[in-house]
Structure 1
Amino acid sequence: MTEAMIDVGFVTAPSGVLVLGMAGWIDYWRELGQPLSERARAVAASGGGHLREELCEAVAVPADGDRPLRVRASTSPSPFDEEPTIAVLEVDLGLPWPDSADRSTLVQLGDLPVDRSGMALGDASGLDAWTGMDDEPADGLADVSCWGRHEDDAHAEFGGDRIPQYGVDGLYGWLDLPLAEAEALAAELTRWRGGLHGKGVAVSLDKHTDFYRFRRAGWHHPLHVGAIEVGGCQVLGIDWDPGDHSIRHRGERDAGQVYPIVLKANEAGQTVMRWTIPPYEFDEEDR
């Protein structure tokens, strides 16, 4: 049976090397002594493969650097809420399948866990510029949001608007504030009636790092996919619903929750990178 694939966006890879990696660790590669781009380039030169050091993992492959690369996905229902989640992710690499290779062959590249912080797909050199959750925002801006028992009182006192996301009304918040203003507001909200566990309002201050921007870009997509520019390249970020991750992917590699990535030929004889996450097997108790 043919899978129903949907377009989820495109990426650019002007360096000729494309990376799919764990978004929570992209910025950490440079802390390990060698930039991600250098590691990825060496692996791509041999046709592609898996990269891993400490908690950082990625797959790197050669790709056409002169045009956008289409990204598609098929879905399966989540055991958490039965909403669609990614079952197969495919990237058209823009390169012909080798004439000498059988088109039915699958080239194994390794496997990857689903990072609870999401996945990043983009140019290897562009991702060298990625700013992680602890970095400062290049645009000097941040968002503030709050929730909890007294969130309506906080809205009445401080203003702010609901920030809608796909399928939900979203939290009260303030977008695109200068960083100093955002920090002052977050501190004032915390002093006013802060605290977790239903005792007041919880407050989040989110600087506009690349890590946060990709998650925000996916707010209105059913699969939490969003496009941002990093290092002059278009990158796709794939956030993951925390409930689905907890049920299906918790523990990640240490728990054996890893999923294969291959290169394959499509019907037109072009090379495709394919990441397959098996659907959850529901039983009667699940339903």
Structure 2
Amino acid sequence: MPEIFVDLGSVNAPSGVLVLGMAGGIDQWPALGRSLSARARDAASSGGGHLREWLCEAVAVPAAADRPLRVRASTSPSPFDEEPTVATLEIALGLPWPETADLPAPVRLGDLPVDRCGMVIGDAVGLDAWTGLEGEPADGLADVTYWGRYEDDAHAQFGGERIAQHGVDGPYGWLDLPLAEATARAAELTAWRDRLHGKGLMVSIEEHTDFHRFHRAGWGHPLRVGAIEVGSCQVLGIEWDQGDHSMRHNGERAAGQVYPVTLEADEAGEMLMRWTIPPYSFGAED
């Protein structure tokens, strides 16, 4: 049966180099010696390749600089809850397949694990501006959420709105607060919990780093996909359900949980990058 693809949106790559990388380490590349864009440019100059240092991994390829690049995915059911999850990720690169290459034969660029923190697709130079977990929010804002056994009691005391997320009610909280106000509200909730209950309420404050913004952008999407702007470029992020990750991808590269990335030609003779995650076999014994 042929794969059925759904559109996830588009990205742009004005530098002419596109990256598919692990979101948890995008901002760590410079600390490891060279920027992501410098490494990616070298890989793309030879037709594309795999980048890996310490816990950071990505694949970089040449791409058209003058147009949006479509991103699609096919899905397979998760072994965790049987909801659809990404099986094949396909990115149109907008460039003709090299005349000297064998058209039907995919070119293997390497393999990538599914990062528990999510995956990012975007322009190599744009991603140099990425702010990770320890970064500073450019807008000075943050989101505060709370949930758990005593969430209704906390809501009666402090208020807040249900924050919609796909398939679930979502936590209570407040979005887009000035950082000082967000910090004060989180402290009030925590002090109230500790004074009355000790535990039973989770409180989170998330500053508007790019890492948080891409997760937030995917809250309403069935595949947890969201688009944000980073370094004046449109970037797509894909988050994985933590239950699905634990059952399918846990351990990542250290456990051999890696999946091939290839360069292929589409029906029109243009280049595609594909990342293929085999469907889980529900009949297989653990």
Task: Give distance in 2, aligned partners of 1:18 and 1:284.
Answer: 36
Task: Give distance in 1, aligned partners of 2:72 and 2:172.
Answer: 33
Q: Which residue of 1 aligns with 2:185?
A: 185
For structure 2, the 5+ residue unaligned runs are none
Task: Give distance in 1, aligned partners of 2:248 and 2:10.
Answer: 27
CA displacement at 1:194 relative to structure 2? 3.9
> Does residue 170 in structure 1 map to residue 162 in structure 2?
no
Does the CA-based 8 Å contact 1:163-1:172 persist in structure 2? Answer: yes
Q: 1:49 to 1:173 in 2, by over 3 A?
A: same
Q: Which residue of 1 aligns with 2:125?
A: 125
CA displacement at 1:202 relative to structure 2? 1.2
Q: Which residue of 1 aligns with 2:216?
A: 216
CA deviation profile, 1:98-132 (whole Å, cap 9, x unmatched): 11222111101000000000000000000000000
CA displacement at 1:200 relative to structure 2? 3.1
| RMSD of Structure 2 on Structure 1 (CA) | 1.5
> Does residue 56 in structure 1 map to residue 56 in structure 2?
yes
CA displacement at 1:30 relative to structure 2? 1.3
Q: For residue 110 of structure 2, what is the amino acid of its counterpart?
A: G
> Does residue 115 in structure 1 map to residue 115 in structure 2?
yes
Aligned ranges for residues 89-108 of structure 1 at < 5 Å? 89-108=89-108
Q: For residue 92 of structure 1, what is the amino acid of its counterpart?
A: A
Task: Give distance in 1, aligned partners of 2:122 and 2:66.
Answer: 14
Q: Which residue of 1 aligns with 2:145?
A: 145
CA displacement at 1:263 relative to structure 2? 0.4
SS in 1 for 2:188: helix
Q: Which residue of 2 aligns with 1:30?
A: 30
SS in 2 for 1:125: helix
Task: Give distance in 2, aligned partners of 1:275 and 1:257.
Answer: 13
TM-score, structure 1 normalization:
0.97
**Which segment is superposed worse, 198-207 or 57-66?**
198-207
Q: For residue 62 of structure 2, what is the amino acid of its counterpart?
A: P
Does the CA-based 8 Å contact 1:194-1:200 persist in structure 2? Answer: no
SS in 2 for 1:27: helix
Q: Which residue of 1 aligns with 2:41?
A: 41
Q: Which residue of 1 aligns with 2:68?
A: 68
CA deviation profile, 1:160-199 (whole Å, cap 9, x unmatched): 011010011100111000000000100111001149x983
Q: Which residue of 2 aligns with 1:260?
A: 260
For structure 1, the 5+ residue unaligned runs are none
Does the CA-based 8 Å contact 1:147-1:201 persist in structure 2? Answer: yes
CA displacement at 1:284 relative to structure 2? 8.4
Q: For residue 25 of structure 2, what is the amino acid of its counterpart?
A: W
Q: Which residue of 1 aligns with 2:6?
A: 6
Q: Would you identify which runs of 4 or more consecutive aligned residues in structure 1 move more than 4 Å?
A: none
Q: 1:27 to 1:50 in 2, by over 3 A?
A: same
Does the CA-based 8 Å contact 1:161-1:174 persist in structure 2? Answer: yes
SS in 2 for 1:271: strand
